[in-house]
Amino acid sequence: IDFDKPMVMETDGYAINSKRKTELANILKCNELIVEHRYFGESKPDSMIWKYLNTAQAAADHNRIVEIFKPIYNSKWVNTGISKGGQTTIFFKYYYPNAVDVWVPYVAPLNLEQEDHRLNAFFEKVGTEDCREKIKEFQRALLENRDTILPLLKKHMEEKKYSFPLGLEKTFEYAVLEYEFAFWQWGKTNCEDIPEPEASPEILFKHLYTTSSFNYFNSSSITYYQPFFYQAYSEIGYYNYETSDFSDLLVDVKDKYASNICFAPQNVEIKYDKDLMKNINNYIYENGNNMLFIYGENDAWSSTSVNIGPNTNALKMVKMNGNHRTRIKSFEGEEKEKIYSTLEKWLNVKIER
pLDDT tens per residue, range 199-253? 999 999 999 999 999 999 999 999 999 999 999 999 999 999 999 999 999 999 9
Rounded Cα–Cα distance for residues 337 and 175 (Å): 40
Summary mean pLDDT of the chain:
97
pLDDT at 18 over 80: no
Surface-to-core class of residue 321, CB atoms within 10 Å of its CB (0-12 exposed, 13-18 middle, 19+ buried): exposed
- Domains contained in the chain, CATH given: 7-112+274-347 (3.40.50.1820), 118-263 (no CATH)
Long-range Cβ contacts of 118-122 (<8 Å, 24+ apart): 118/303, 118/304, 119/181, 119/239, 119/300, 119/301, 119/303, 119/304, 120/239, 120/240, 120/242, 120/257, 121/303, 122/184, 122/300, 122/302, 122/303
Question: In the predicted model, what is the mean pLDDT of residues 7-35?
Answer: 94
Rounded Cα–Cα distance for residues 260 and 121 (Å): 17
**Does the CA dihedral 165-166-167-172 come out positive or negative?**
negative
pLDDT at 19 over 90: no
pLDDT tens per residue, range 271-293? 999 999 999 999 999 999 999 99
